[in-house]
Structure 1
Amino acid sequence: MTEPAYLTSTRTAYDTVAEAYAEEARDALATSPWDRAMLATFAELVGESGPVGDLGCGTGRLTGHLASLGLDVFGVDLSPGMLEVARRAHPELRFEVGSLTALELADGSLAGALAWYSLIHTPPEQLPAVVAELARVLAPGGRLLTAFQVGDERRHISRGCGHEVSFDAYRLPPDFVAGLFEAAGLVMEARLVRAPQEPEQVPQAYLMAQRPK
């Protein structure tokens, strides 16, 4: 089966910027109390109930953070280049190449799934299938936390982290994403939209949902 073009362009872009991206994002969590609060709440609710997948983990910065909060966490990402950086930064953790469109995980195998700005490169019309895949791998009682830029537009990115790239990113309406979660059989638990912080240009959203027990 031919891979969708958006997956190919996204992988190529992140392979290109991997090293520079890691450096640029290194201190991002330290400067965002909102991010830390949502991740801490997610970690507390999931606890020791089972494995957690950081799905679209990039360079593994949040995989490592969740591990420091006591979670049994591993990372999955489309980009081998990003994962090379992740494995070097966190040799004690497991990282695997994979796509949110077809996760190589058993049904109901995760106590928690993090999709942190990893839904934003999927065209909105294809997001229902991706969210259904995330719901599939959650165990009963398992939780899904996502974060994304708020809006309703496609942005073509031609330069990132000092490199020429060519891929798309989508800003999403929170009601739309919440509706996808509910359509996949998940129950919404929390929704937070915050004002942008430098250098962000638009509000940011966090949504948490649970698979019914």
Structure 2
Amino acid sequence: MIEANSISTTRAFYDAVAGDYAELARDELSGKPLDRGILAAFAERVRCAGVGPVADLGCGPGHVTAYLHSLGVTDVFGVDLSSQMVAIARRVYPELRFDEGSMASLDRPDGSLGGIVAWYSIIHTPPGVLSAVLAEFRRLLASGGQLLLAFQVGDEPLRIAEPFGHAVSLDFRRWSPDRIVGMLGRAGFKVNARLLREPDSTERVPQAFLLADAVNPASSGS
């Protein structure tokens, strides 16, 4: 689904920066009340729907997975391309499950999840295959399952080169919220909430959060 070279480049980047990134992300949510708020709304909707476990896809060092667990989402697990990120998550949060894998091709049955969080993990997906990734999310989610996306807002990609002094680079893609909403509708989702916040002191552009239901095909246009 996603080109092999894109996957391998992303994996190599995060394997290289895993330790530094984990330290940076460790307390990230503590200073972002709006981000915590949308995660809390997602957690409440998942608990109310009660249709299956929750996957944090592109979980990195596991801090969002752990935060969801602290909000009462007891059946939650993380998945990440980077073996180094997964190793850190397992070490820091030994009570939770973390698997190495790709969010674009999760080896699970149709409709087996009650929720998916892609917290800044679609930002490395090539534009030509994002629709297919969202369709995969819909395949995995039971009807009534919840999806939460977080991403940077904009039209131009950003290339990060040699972060923390490591000899790696990676493109970070920004997205228009309206464009993603349209793609979600075509993939079988109904968007229930949009949050657009201004950048904080560590960010360059506005940040977007979309909360959506997985709907039955017959009701997706209603």
Instruction: Flag whether TM exceeds 0.5 (same fold).
Output: yes
| Among candidates 112, 123, 127, match of residue 124 of structure 1 | 127
Q: Which runs of 5+ in 1 are unaligned?
A: none
- Equivalent position SS for 1:167: strand
2:95 aligned partner: 92
1:211 aligned partner: 214
More helix by share: 2
Deviation at 1:164, TM superposition (A): 2.6
Pick closer, same or farther for the CA change 1:175–1:2 going to 2, 3 Å.
Answer: closer
Q: C-alpha offsets along residues 119-162 of structure 1, whole Å, 9 cap, x if unaligned? A: 00011111001111111100110010010000011222212234
- Equivalent position SS for 1:171: coil
User: Whole-Å Cα distance in 1 between the matches of residues 91 and 79 of structure 2?
Assistant: 15
Matched, 1:137 2:140: yes
Deviation at 1:2, TM superposition (A): 10
- Equivalent position SS for 2:167: strand
1:69 aligned partner: 71
Matched, 1:179 2:209: no
Residues 89, 98 of structure 2: 8 Å contact kept: yes
Pick closer, same or farther for the CA change 1:144–1:162 going to 2, 3 Å.
Answer: same
User: Whole-Å Cα distance in 2 between the matches of residues 2 and 152 of structure 1?
Assistant: 20
User: Whole-Å Cα distance in 2 between the matches of residues 79 and 69 of structure 1?
Assistant: 26
1:115 aligned partner: 118
Residues 77, 96 of structure 2: 8 Å contact kept: yes
Deviation at 1:62, TM superposition (A): 0.5
Q: Which runs of 5+ in 2 are unaligned?
A: 217-222
User: Whole-Å Cα distance in 2 between the matches of residues 91 and 31 of structure 1?
Assistant: 25
Residues 6, 168 of structure 1: 8 Å contact kept: no
| Among candidates 141, 156, 161, match of residue 159 of structure 2 | 156
2:109 aligned partner: 106
- Equivalent position SS for 1:85: helix
Q: C-alpha offsets along residues 143-200 of structure 1, whole Å, 9 cap, x if unaligned? A: 1001000001122221223423121110110011111111101111111111000110
User: Whole-Å Cα distance in 1 between the matches of residues 2 and 211 of structure 2?
Assistant: 33
Residues 2, 125 of structure 2: 8 Å contact kept: no
- RMSD, aligned CA: 1.5
- Equivalent position SS for 2:133: helix
Q: Tell me which amino acid in the other structure corresponds to 2:81.
A: L
1:20 aligned partner: 20
Q: C-alpha offsets along residues 104-131 of structure 1, whole Å, 9 cap, x if unaligned? A: 1111011110000000001111100111
Residues 24, 161 of structure 1: 8 Å contact kept: no
2:59 aligned partner: 57
User: Whole-Å Cα distance in 1 between the matches of residues 128 and 161 of structure 2?
Assistant: 23
2:194 aligned partner: 191
Q: C-alpha offsets along residues 4-31 of structure 1, whole Å, 9 cap, x if unaligned? A: 2111110000000111111111111000
Q: Tell me which amino acid in the other structure corresponds to 2:39.
A: L
2:33 aligned partner: 33
TM-score by length of 2: 0.92
Moved over 3 A (4+): none
